[in-house]
Amino acid sequence: MLLLVSYQIQHKKKRGRPSLEEAAAAEIAAAEAPEVPRKQRRVEPPKEVHYDGSDHRFSFTTPGKCSFCKTGFCETECKKYDVRLCIKKKKNNCFDKYMYHYL
């Protein structure tokens, strides 16, 4: 019982506003923490190149989300722009919509 009381006394949370020393220590710890690299945004190519219709071939890759419709999973990507796009016979053909501007 005595050990439990002494543990509670030693590890009691401080109440109120944190002191300047604690705030400075927290800032130093935050400054020393390594930065997490941010995800880079994909840059769209110029429209003249994007919709020219030349050299847009697809290749099969590992399954992933479609970059155009965001709902479909696909196993194909454009080799020129490295973008995953759906190529389906009856449903979406995001590859044609994305590359040749059929909307």
Q: Which residue has the higher pLDDT, 71 or 65?
A: 65
Using pLDDT thresholds of 50, 70 and 90, give the confidence band for residue 26.
Answer: confident
* 10 φψ region: left (φ > 0), alpha (ψ -120 to 50), beta (else): alpha
Q: Which residue has the higher pLDDT, 66 or 3?
A: 66
Is there a domain that residue 47 lies in?
no
Euclidean distance between CA atoms 99 and 51, whole angstroms:
6
In what order do the strands lie in the sheet containing 58-65?
58-65, 73-78, 83-84
Per-residue pLDDT at 103: 43
- Please give the residue range of the domain that contains residue 64: 56-100
Per-residue pLDDT at 27: 79
Per-residue pLDDT at 101: 66
Q: In the chain, how many domains are there? A: 1
Is there a domain that residue 70 lies in?
yes
pLDDT tens, 40-59?
Answer: 776 677 777 777 767 777 88
Prediction pTM value: 0.50
Q: Which residue has the higher pLDDT, 5 or 77?
A: 77
